[in-house]
Structures are given as structure tokens and as C-alpha cells.
Chains A and B, each alone.
Chain A
Amino acid sequence: MRVSRFWRATICFLFVLFAVLHTPLIESYVGVAPAYYSIDFQPGLVKVFSFDFNTNQESELEVYLEGDLKEYAELSTTHLKGGGRVNVLLKLPQNIEKPGLHKLFIGAKQLTKEEKGTIGVSANVRAVIKVYVPYPGKYAELDFSAKSANAGEPIEFRLKIFSRGKESINTLSRIEIYDFEDKKVGELNLGETLVEAGSFKEIVKKWNTEGYSPGKYTAVAVVRYGSDDSQTATAKREFRIGELYIDIVNYTKVLEREKINKFEIVVESFWNGVIDNVFANVTIPEYNIQFITPSSTLEPFEKKTLKGYFDTTPIDKEQFKAKIEVHYKGKVTKKEALLKFKRKIDYKIVVGAIILALSVLTSIILIIILYRREHEKKR
């Protein structure tokens, strides 16, 4: 079946439009791949690490080294135009005294010419070579995360135990849970885990939140990896048990007379989910003023400012009451507000007062002068 010229053109156009809409707008960018390498320390290691930098075709990049172990590394080039590959030759010493993570940064910064009359930008990315130097004996490091959830849903904990010492470790782990008053409200036993030297193990555990109030909590992972009391690693993470509630945190309190004012309301979500179509309805009953802010979307636990505008011309009092109602998912949070006007300085009164003061002072001086002349005449 022959496709007509019209349809061929239409299909081509749609492809181009699709490609254009899905191509990120690239104005001034720098990128590098890979973003990092991770290695364990080996005495005397000699190794080459390659990084591919990319940028706008016409951009020039200054390539540099920064951070720990800089003195043991060499760059294949310190300048790139329009991107390119940089090789880093790393020659580690026989011994590094300080154990733990050492980071060597390989950066590329755009060389941007300053343009008079503008504030311009320069993008700079730094890739990382992470070198783990083992601790003597047994040593553990933790990577701990706690995912917030809504009331009644389980909280997921993820604990990674890294054996960073020269010896393997047999760990005994638990997670302690504290409420916002620092009171212990729960504990999860994670049992025993063997972690070989230089490797890690991940433990995932869920905590049932039924019966627990919404709010902020702290989870503390405690991992014992040796017989000595000091051989215990801990990590702390905060999480929240959410509830469907939006709080009114703050609002504009001082306004200007006889003009259209911007009225801001800061709201905070206590829900671990997106809440669409959040808006505020503000009324000033005494003057029959009402306005609604545009709808907004709140991300999980997000704080945001809703903005509305109204004219204060009809308001003659210094202070007046307003009612703020924030609407979301069929619910409303209400607050009564007391608003007032900014004090306006009447310059006419100020100038008048200054003139009066000067007049009084001048009069006093004249009186003194006249009195002294009279006195001298009499003498």
C-alpha cells in the first residue's frame, strides 16, 4: 500500500517533534563517565583510570587533580576542547598510615570568558577515585537508610555492613527506634552475620507501624563486630510516620495600605505522598474580602508557599482579622490571623516638626543676643 506524501511528511514531522521534545536543552554542561571508581588499597599498586569528559563542542575544559592521594597521581592532559578522554596514572605508596576512605578528585572546569554587563556561569564536575585503606584488625562501617511511610504502612530499613579491616567480622546487629522525645519505642533484632574482610552484607528489615502515632522518629543501627565494647559501629537515621495533614506554618502579617498586596501562606505537608490541588481560601469577613490562591502540589513532607493577592483599599482599621483555610483531598486546615498595616511615616509632619524646632531655637538665640546688647548699652 503506498503511503501518500502527506502522511509520510506527517510521520517525519512527528518523529522530529518527538526527538526535539525529548532532547534535553543543552546550554552549558559538563559531564564525566564513569563518575567514580572504588578500589581497595594495595601497596605499590600502579594503575591507570580512564575518564571520558564531555561538554559543549566549543567549550574548553581545565582538567585538574584535588583531594587525598593527589601527590601519587598524574594526568595525561590538563586541557580539553569539546570533551575527551583523560587517563589518570595512580602509583600508590607501600603504606598509607591513615585507614579508611581516601578520595582523589579528577575535575574538569569550563573556561568561561567573563562578559561585561552579565553574570555568567561555569559548570565544573569532579569524578572520584575512592581508595579504601583497611583498618588494622577488625573494623566495620555502616550504610543505613530508613524509608518514611504513612501510618499503618511498614517502614523499610536497609543496613549495609562493610568489613573495612584486615580481618573478617562476625556481627551481631539490632535497630533501636526512638520517638521525637528520644524515648525508645521499639527494637528489631537482626541476628548474626559473617562479613568477609573487604566485602559487605546487606540486611533489609521492615517495621510494623500499627499502633504508633504519626510523627518524627529516629532509628539507630547498632552493630557489634568484636569482643571489645569499643568494637561497635552505629548509624542514625530519621524517618517519619506520615498522616494526611497540612499545617499552616506562617503567613504574611504586615500589609501596605491602599494597594494590592501579595499574601503568602507557608504550608507543610505531613503526608508521605504527593498531595495535588492544594489551595488556600482567605477571607476578611469585616470587609467582605475573599480570595483564593492558585492550586499547588505538595511532595512528601514538603514545605511550600502559597501566594494570593488582594486590595487593602477598603480597609480603614490598623489591625483586622482574617480566616485562612487550606484545602486538600477533601480536608481543611483552618487558622485565624491578625493582620496589620505597616506604619507609614508622614513626611509633612516630620518636616513641620523640624521647622518648628529650628524656629524656636532661632528665637531663643535672638532673644539672648538682644538681651546682651541691652545689657551692654546700660553699662
Chain B
Amino acid sequence: METDKVLLTIAVVAVAVSVIGLVFTYNTISGFKLWLTGLATDTATANVTITSSEAINFTTDNINWGSGTVNGGETNATLDTASGTVTGGTWTAVSQGFILENIGNVNVTLDLATDKDASTFIGGTSPLYQFNVTNNEAGSCPSANQSITFGAYYDVNTTSPGTRVCDNFQFTDASDTLRIDIKVVIPADAIPEAKGSIMTATATAV
């Protein structure tokens, strides 16, 4: 009987020690898990900040009708890049307007101004110097953000920053290009000389 009790006690103690040992062993193995298997259990974060950038680019930046005269008997000649025509004069037709692309990563407002108006650029009786804007890629300036009627002609504006044409010129690649066409009416009594003008496009981050 005494022996049985001793044996039972030893058995209980042995079980207890085994359980404690099991706990210790498990914890120790957990610590070596990484070392043994390469399993990553920690978490890491990667942070990246994309800086906003604003940029506009004229891919077509020059309109040159060359030399010419108003046809005899006509009061004026009309040169228009939108229709690609010259009527009433001998200049070479130009069918490509300015192409302006938003190559940044933010939407911008767009204003257009020129350094001269019709009188100072062309002169003569009733000259005309106008521009019109269209989406070269659909949706580049959504209709809700167009500050002028796209496709309609407007007199140029010499007061900086100029005429607001779009409140939200998009930057997404498939819809980020506008076309700016120019129409000039040259009167027969305009002074004959080589005439030049600069159009400035001002983009401001929205």
C-alpha cells in the first residue's frame, strides 16, 4: 500500500514535470522557428509619397502661314487653322492648331493670353485675331468645366493671365490634350511687314 502511494506520487510529479517541460520546450521552439524555417512573422510597412507635379507642354508650338497678300478686289483675307483654309488671300493654308498637353499629375486651370490684339498684331481696317479651343482627346476639359464654349471663336485677350478656358484641365493620359486654333482676318489695307505674336498658356494647380 505504501509502495503504491509512493509510486502514484512519483507518477503525478513526473506528469507535472512533463507538462512544465512541454511548455518550456514549445516556447523555445517558437523562438527558433524563424531560424529553422525562415518564416517571417513580423510585419513591415513600405511608405511612398508621390509628389504633386504640374506641367504643360506644347507639342505643336508654331503657326506659320508664310508670306502672302490679300487678293485684288477683296477687302480682306481670312486664315483659319480649324478649317485649314485661306480665303481671299495667297497665304499657304495651315491645318494644324496648337496642341497643348497636361503632362503633370494634377488637374489645372488654363488661361490663354496673347501679347498683341488684332490692331497691334495685324492693323488695318477691322482686323480680327481669334482663338478657339477644342478637346483634342475627349474629356480633356469636361463640358462641366469649360469656361468658354468649346469650338466657338473668341477675340484674343492681352490682359494677363488671359481668358479662362478650362477650370479642370485633366492629367489622365487618355484625356489630357487640348487643341487651340487660330483665325486671323487680314484687311487689304494692313501694313505689309512680317508680323509675329506670342500666345501664353497659364496653368495653375487646382
Contact = CB atoms under 8 A, between A and B. Distances in A.
A120 interface: yes
B104 A35 contact: yes
B197 A36 contact: no
A238 interface: yes
B59 A299 contact: no
By DSSP majority rule, is chain A's interface helix, strand, loop, or mixed?
Answer: strand
B199 A119 contact: yes
Given A105-B204, A117-B194, A120-B199, A31 B55 contact: yes
Contact of B196 (A24, A32, A117): A117
B53 A28 contact: no
A133 interface: no
Given A121-B58, A121-B198, A128-B205, A34 B67 contact: no
Nearest to A304: B138
Interface in B70-89: none
Nearest to A24: B103
B204 A121 contact: no
A27 B105 CA distance: 19
B106 A35 contact: yes
B5 interface: no
Interface in A285-302: 297-302
A116 B161 CA distance: 23
Interface stretch (A107-115, A228-236, A332-340): A107-115
A25 interface: yes
Contact of B57 (A119, A123, A126, A299): A123
Given A31-B104, A34-B51, A35-B106, A109 B200 contact: yes
B144 interface: yes
A299 B138 contact: yes
Interface in B109-126: 115
A314 to B, nearest CB: 26
Size category of the B interface is: 35 or more
B51 A33 contact: yes
A301 B115 CA distance: 36
Size category of the A interface is: 35 or more
Contact of A128 (B63, B103, B196, B204): B204
B98 A118 contact: no
B57 A28 contact: yes
A298 B135 CA distance: 12
A297 B138 contact: yes
B147 interface: no
Contacts of B52: 33-36
Contacts of A171: none
Nearest to B182: A119
A124 B196 contact: no
A127 interface: yes
B61 A31 contact: no
A120 B201 contact: no
Contact of A114 (B161, B182, B198): B198
Contacts of B105: 35
Interface in B163-206: 175, 182, 193-205
Nearest to B162: A124
A118 B205 contact: no
Interface in B2-24: none
A148 to B, nearest CB: 10
A342 to B, nearest CB: 16
A123 B199 CA distance: 9
Contact of B53 (A26, A27, A32, A115): A32
Contacts of B31: none
Contacts of B108: 35, 125
A30 interface: yes
Contacts of A126: 202-205
A78 interface: no
Contact of B66 (A24, A117, A120): A117
A6 to B, nearest CB: 35
B56 A121 contact: no
A147 interface: no
B60 interface: yes
Nearest to A112: B198
A339 B54 CA distance: 49
B61 A299 contact: no
Contacts of A25: 57, 59
Listed from nearest, the 6 A-B pairs whose CB atoms lie closest are A31-B55, A29-B57, A116-B194, A33-B53, A35-B54, A35-B205
Interface of A: 24-36, 54, 105, 107, 109, 112, 114-128, 238, 297-303
22 contacts: A24-B57, A25-B57, A27-B57, A27-B61, A29-B56, A30-B56, A31-B103, A35-B52, A35-B106, A35-B205, A116-B193, A117-B194, A118-B63, A121-B200, A121-B201, A123-B56, A123-B200, A124-B201, A124-B202, A299-B139, A302-B138, A303-B143
Interface of B: 51-64, 66-67, 98, 101, 103-106, 108, 115, 138-139, 143-144, 161, 175, 182, 193-205
Given A120-B61, A121-B61, A297-B138, 18 more contacts: A24-B57, A25-B59, A26-B59, A31-B53, A33-B54, A35-B52, A35-B106, A114-B115, A116-B195, A119-B198, A119-B199, A122-B201, A123-B201, A124-B200, A126-B204, A298-B138, A300-B139, A302-B143
